[in-house]
Amino acid sequence: MRAADTLMESLKAEGVKDVFGIPGGANLPTYDALFDAEFRHVQVRHEQGGGHAAEGYAKASGRVGVAFATSGPGATNLVTAIADAMMDSVPTVFVTGQVRTELIGTDGFQEADILGATLPFVKHSFQVTDARQIPEYVHEAFHVASTGRPGPVLIDIPQDLSRADIDYVPRTEPVELPGYRPSIEGNIKQIRIAAKALANARRPIFYAGGGVVNGNASEELRELAGSDRFPVTSTLMGLGAYPSSGESWLGMLGMHGTFAANFAMDKADLIVAIGARFDDRITGKLSEFAPHAKVIHIDIDPAEISKNVGAHIPIVGDVKQVLPKLTREYRALQTDSTRLEEWWNSIRGWQREHPLYYEPGKDGEIKPQFMIEAMHRATQGDAIVTSDVGQHQMWAAQYYGFDKPRRWINSGGLGTMGFGLPAAVGAKVACPDEAVVCLGGDGSLIMNVQELATCVTNEIPVKVFLMNNGYMGMVRQWQELFWDRRYSSVEMGASPDWVKLAEAFGATGMRCEDAADLEETMVKALETEGPVLLDVRVAQEENCYPMIPPGQAARDMVEAPRGAVRE
Amino acid sequence: MEAGTPEMVRLEDLRVPGQLSGRKHILSIMVENKPGVLARVAGLFSRRGFNIDTLSVGPTDDPSISRITLTLDGAVHPIDQVTKQLHKLVNVLKIRDMEPTETVAREMALFKVSSAVENRAEIIQFAEIFRANVVDVARRTMTIEVSGSADKIEAFERMVRPHGLIEMVRTGEIAIARGSD
């Protein structure tokens, strides 16, 4: 069998149903084999879009996302998506074409050392040097990408090798890699100590991260948190892991988190970190982070333990396995939850005195926060929301209110502008029956706007709600607050005309400039067939609050000014 | 510890183990003998900001496995974090943080020193004291091979430097665990 056909066979054996990509010289054999393959190929318009689509697909469904690209520029265009998938632990497999074996190292046409270029950003990678390796590497790649802490895996296949004729024997036994054995179970002794520490805590807080979503452990988190009155906060990536309507929910923590969540971390005596990594956007000034707290750190990646913040009780394992054990051990202790009374009084006080707040818009002006609230109502809070990066992303995190996991798809670690639209393409392909809304920023959306063509051509009815404030808003906010209001290259101006742009792509374009019409227009956009881009003109210089200024501690949090007269 | 006795774990007694050992560490890393593995290991060190003092790579008795020996300063880097990051590389099979008292560590160095007729005898004498070998003699230079601990090599360097050290090359340490009785 031709090696490229064995690539398709082994992908099929891994359960692949959809692939994103673009053909080119070096992966012509792959695309020839794809012509007869039994799974769907979504032809994207830029390899970066294909990469993010694979990520959106994986984040929405939990299945491995797959993207193809050709050698050289095709492969280097994938690099941002690969780095993004690494930072957010997204199970993805990238298959790149490479120049013919005899050309490798000669600076051949469209040659790039993609394996070398992506070494810092991959969980693992494979350079095919013998055609017979192809099926084997595919299975190993899926195994590595989807188990342990998930991540991106790259397979680079020289053109001549994918044309070679090889014997194909379908793989029957599971993959065994001698240097790769993730710890899953969690040490029961450590879990018992953790349960006892929890029982003795007066001011505990659960801090959940993307690992709870990745590990499909939302149910288990709810069980554990519900076994006492444990307050729960989460990172940007963990939103939806615990329902925002749950009564123990404090909101997101970190730089743009809620006052209550950040103060609870600051005053806590015990932090239970679950699938989270104490990123700088969470801790702020590290030396002043959670000064009174002991730390239980549960993570499948042992290298995260004590990387940024020392763990007093480390537990290495799969959250889905560890959390039920911790729940069982904790319940067996039969503790008295009245000990948490005083703690909740403090928390309720912070919530009451420092809620999320924005000055309502006047005269039909659309405040960005209002836009998110309208979006929640229009979608009944149940859409898959993908987002670009910036203020709109933070406002969505604060105001949308996610009740389920895998409903909030964004670029957290790398912070990739232009992520939202292609991720929405992937999410919609993975979940065709769900409403998929891409919340875009005008600075971000244009970075991958070409994927509107993908939506139209492939009939992927994504709805893009563009929060258009005419600026790269988050950068503008920083220039305003920390750089003496010297607005340097942040204005986006009125270009392009988004409605016409959408129409030029063959999508439906809409615009809304009045708060009174917003929800209704959104509903109309959701009900319109096919891809829609809704250009929402929002207040231009609104700032995202509350905010912990960079490099400062939680207690330095700055809130939205109230009743301030705008200049 | 019995279940049902939460008082056995008091929060104030919990400690985070120390991160920095304050001494030199020799890590022995068994890796799959595949292309690009050294680049993965070296790249990991540079991107995480870990400084390698010495590094040497070679085959083992098993042709499918190579052994990387590297030394780094435990006063600067948390060794635990270094080894955990290394373990994440799929091609890394086994890592040993060699215990100094139970380890034999050796390094080899070649010194090319300028040797006029009048100091040649003195240099040969140094070499004998250090159990080093003269491996090349030319009209104005001598090349000496020294092996031993890093300290010994540095001591030899101090001895010959005043005579005119032209060039020096060191292999970096390799290490093996002592046998047990």
Structure token pair of residue B175:
């290490």
For residue A70, is it within any domain? yes
CB atoms within 10 A of CB B5: 11
Task: Tell whether the model's pLDDT for residue A69 goes beyond 60.
Answer: yes
Rounded to an integer, what is the distance from CA A254 to the centroid of its chain?
16
Residue B114 CA, chain-centre distance (Å), reads: 28
Task: Evaluate whether A6 touches A34 at the Cβ level (below 8 Å).
Answer: no
pLDDT of residue A435: 98
What's the CA gap between A149 and A213, in Å, rounded? 12
Buried b (16+ CB within 10 A) or exposed e, A250-286: bbbbbbbbbbbbbbbbbbbbbbbbbbbbbbebbbbee
A524-528, B41-45, B163-167, range with greatest mean pLDDT? A524-528
Helix axes A79-87, A47-61, angle to 10 degrees: 30
Q: Does B47 touch chain A (CB under 8 A)?
A: yes
Contact (Cβ atoms closer than 8 angstroms) between residue A186 and residue A316: yes
Which among B1, B160, B54 is positioned nearest to A197, based on CA atoms? B1
Q: How confident is the model at residue B173 (pLDDT cuts 50, 70, 90)?
A: very high
Q: Does B3 touch chain A (CB under 8 A)?
A: yes
Question: Which stretches within A38-94 are classed as H helix?
Answer: 47-61, 73-77, 79-87
Best of A89, A133, A289, A294 to disrupt the B interface (most B CBs within 10 Å) is: A294
| Three-class DSSP category at B132 | coil
Give the H/E segment covering residue B94: strand B92-98
Whether B9 shows a pLDDT value over 90: the answer reads no
Percent of chain A beyond pLDDT 70?
Answer: 99
Mean pLDDT along residues B131-150: 94
Q: Which of A70-79, A439-448, A503-512, B3-12 has the lowest mean pLDDT?
A: B3-12
State which residue of chain B sits closest to A306, comparing Cα positions.
B81
Task: Using pLDDT thresholds of 50, 70 and 90, give the confidence band for residue A565.
Answer: very low
3-class secondary structure, A413: coil
Both A437 and A375 in one domain: the answer is yes
Q: What are phi and psi of A19, to 5 degrees?
A: -135, 145
CB B73 within 8 A of CB B150: no
Say how far apart CA A40 and CA A159 lie, in whole Å. 22
Name the residue facing A303 among B10, B15, B81 (closest C-beta): B81
The answer for residues whose C-beta is within 8 angstroms of residue A258's C-beta and 6 or more apart is A233, A250, A251, A252, A351, A354, A355, A356, A398, A546
Any long-range contacts for B38-42 (C-beta under 8 Å, 24+ apart)? B38/B68, B39/A116, B39/A119, B40/A119, B40/B89, B40/B91, B41/B68, B41/B86, B41/B89, B41/B92
Residues A221 and A147 in one domain: no
Residue A428 CA to residue A436 CA, distance in Å, equals 6
User: In this predicted model, what pLDDT tens digit does every residue of A144-203 receive, in sequence order?
Assistant: 999 999 999 999 999 999 999 999 989 888 999 999 999 999 999 999 999 999 999 999
Pair A198, A303 in one domain: yes
Same domain? For A281 and A381 the reply is: no
State whether A332 and B4 contact (CB < 8 Å).
yes
In the numeric block, which tokens belong to residue A296? Answer: 């239980």
CATH number at residue A530: 3.40.50.970
Report CB contact under 8 Å: A127, B15. Answer: no
Query: Is B3–A197 a contact, with Cβ atoms under 8 angstroms apart?
Result: no
Q: Same CATH fold, B104-177 and B19-98?
A: yes
Closest residue, chain B, to A331 (C-alpha): B4
- CATH topology assigned to domain B104-177: Alpha-Beta Plaits (3.30.70)
| Torsion angle of C-alpha atoms A532, A537, A543, A548, degrees rounded to 10 | 0
Alpha carbon distance A510, A481 (integer Å): 33
Contact B40 A119 (CB under 8 A): yes
Kindly tell me if the per-residue pLDDT of A457 is higher than 50: yes
Question: Helices (DSSP H) in A62-172: which residue ranges?
Answer: 73-77, 79-87, 114-118, 133-146, 159-163
**Closest chain B residue by Cα to residue A309:** B16
* Side-chain-side CA neighbours of residue A199 (13 Å): 25
The mean predicted confidence, pLDDT, of chain B is 91
Q: Is pLDDT at B112 greater than 50 in this prediction?
A: yes
pTM: 0.95
The verdict on B18 touching A (C-beta cutoff 8 Å) is: no
Indicate if A219 and A335 belong to the same structural domain: yes
Determine, for residues B11 and A197 on separate chains, whether the beta-carbon distance falls below 8 Å: yes
In this complex, is the C-beta atom of B10 within 8 Å of any C-beta atom belonging to chain A?
Answer: yes
**Least CA distance to A268: which residue of chain B?**
B11
Decide if A306 and B93 are in contact by the 8 Å CB cutoff.
no
In chain B, where are the structural domains located?
19-98, 104-177
Q: Is residue A174 part of a domain?
A: no
What number is the ipTM of this complex? Answer: 0.91
Q: What DSSP element (H or E) covers A222? A: helix A218-226
Query: Pick from A177, A302, A310: which is nearest to B90 by CB?
Result: A177
Nearest to A179 among B7, B10, B93 (CB): B93
Q: How far is CA A548 from the centre of its chain?
A: 22
pLDDT band of A561, cuts 50, 70, 90: confident
For chain A, say whether B19 makes contact (Cβ under 8 Å).
Answer: yes
CA distance A425 to A436: 9
**Tally of domains in chain A:** 3
Per the CB < 8 Å rule, is A332 touching B1?
Answer: no
Query: How far is A440 from chain B, CA to nearest CA, in Å?
Result: 32
Which one of A126, A196, A337 would you mutate to disrupt binding with B, by most B Cβ within 10 Å of its Cβ?
A196
**CATH of region B19-98, choose from 2.60.40.10, 3.40.50.150, 3.30.70.260, 2.60.40.420:** 3.30.70.260
User: How far is residue B30's CA from residue B106's CA, in Å, rounded to a whole number?
Assistant: 18
Which chain A residue is nearest to residue B80, measuring alpha carbons?
Answer: A303
Task: Examine residue A381 and state whether it is found in any structural domain, yes or no.
Answer: yes
Lowest-confidence region among A291-300, A411-420, A554-563: A554-563
Mind giving me the DSSP string for A240-267? TSS-TTSTTEEEE-STTS-HHHHHHHHH
Q: Is the pLDDT score of A567 beyond 80? A: no
